[in-house]
């Protein structure tokens, strides 16, 4: 039986989602809770790996559970897991999925949001939850540049090395920059993301605002496939996996 659970978590205290040695991860905490609930350490598969310090508002993962798991009604699973989870991880929905569903391969698109706290002074309320950037950003310029990422492109220029993927073509559905007071948000949806892709897009948009990169050069940078031509990698604390849409 495949149970899909929808989870939100604050990534600050975790070395990302995926289990790894010598580091505390969200997956490990979820597997501990699942084991404590069912008495069996059922396998758990996530919709993506998130990096250390990255947050998720609607992360999807499946529990590959045995038939006996039916003794707990699905609507009771979130509360039953939450009492077994630390307060920075929360399950808000659980339901049964067909056996051929896969939380990663069945993804239609994912939406990420990057939050910039655009203020000269740091704020305790944004600490670990946004990237504090002191210079006034031009969100209109950033938004015009952001829109140029839309479409199907080889995004090699927006990928950190070390992931080992061979197919670097992705389709960006939309990429927008908006402002609400001191909060500047970059929202990107795509059928898939390369390693650090959102964070490099955000770094590039910030450099567009600063005049270091010209907005009309975005297509040229994409075309070049050279990481050296795009902007810096914005830090993880501003990044949120917003939603996952399945086919």
Binding interface with a second copy (CB under 8 A): 8-10, 55, 57, 78, 82, 87-92, 121-125, 127, 129
Summary count for the chain: helices (H), strands (E)? 5, 10
Least distance in angstroms from the C-beta of 83 to a second copy? 10
Closest to a second copy by CB, 129 vs 144, is 129
Q: Which of 32, 51, 88, 154 is catalytic?
A: 51
Least distance in angstroms from the C-beta of 67 to a second copy? 27
Closest to a second copy by CB, 57 vs 150, is 57
Asked whether 143 and 168 are in contact (CB, 8 A), the reply is no
Question: How many Å apart are CA 246 and CA 124, to the nearest integer?
Answer: 36
Least distance in angstroms from the C-beta of 10 to a second copy? 4
Closest to a second copy by CB, 115 vs 200, is 115
Least distance in angstroms from the C-beta of 101 to a second copy? 23
Which residues have CB under 8 Å from 111's CB, separation 6+?
Answer: 187, 188, 189, 241, 242, 243, 244, 245
Question: How many Å apart are CA 64 and CA 190, to the nearest integer?
Answer: 27
68 catalytically annotated: no
Beta bridge partners of 59: 7
Closest to a second copy by CB, 11 vs 231, is 11
Least distance in angstroms from the C-beta of 115 to a second copy? 11
Q: Where are the beta strands (DSSP E) in the chain?
A: 2-9, 44-46, 55-64, 89-97, 107-117, 131-132, 151-154, 169-180, 183-190, 239-246
At 79, list the tokens. Answer: 């509360």
Closest to a second copy by CB, 89 vs 172, is 89
Q: How far is Cα of residue 58 from the mean position of the Cα atoms in its chain? A: 9
Active site residues: 51
């Amino acid at each position: 039986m495949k149970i899909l659970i929808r989870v939100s978590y604050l990534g600050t205290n975790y070395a990302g989602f995926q289990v790894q040695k010598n580091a505390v991860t969200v997956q490990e905490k979820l597997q501990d809770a699942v084991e404590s609930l069912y008495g069996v350490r059922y396998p758990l598969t996530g919709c993506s790996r998130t990096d250390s310090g990255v947050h998720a508002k609607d992360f999807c993962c499946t529990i590959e559970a045995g038939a006996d798991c039916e003794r707990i009604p699905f609507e009771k699973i979130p509360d039953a897991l939450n009492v077994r989870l630390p307060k920075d991880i929360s399950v808000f929905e659980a339901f049964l999925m067909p056996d051929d569903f896969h939380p990663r391969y069945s993804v239609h698109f994912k939406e990420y949001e990057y939050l910039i706290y655009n203020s000269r002074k740091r704020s305790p309320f944004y600490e670990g939850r946004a990237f504090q950037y002191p210079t006034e950003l031009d969100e209109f310029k950033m938004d015009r540049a952001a829109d140029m990422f839309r479409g199907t492109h080889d995004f090699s220029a927006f990928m950190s090395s070390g992931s080992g993927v061979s197919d670097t073509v992705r389709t960006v559905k939309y990429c927008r920059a908006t402002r609400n007071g001191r909060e500047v948000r970059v929202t990107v949806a795509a059928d898939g993301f390369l390693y650090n892709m959102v964070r490099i897009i955000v770094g590039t948009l910030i450099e567009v605002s600063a005049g270091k990169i010209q907005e009309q050069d975005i297509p040229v940078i994409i075309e070049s496939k050279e990481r050296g031509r795009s902007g810096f990698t914005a830090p993880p604390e501003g990044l949120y996996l917003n939603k996952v849409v399945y086919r």
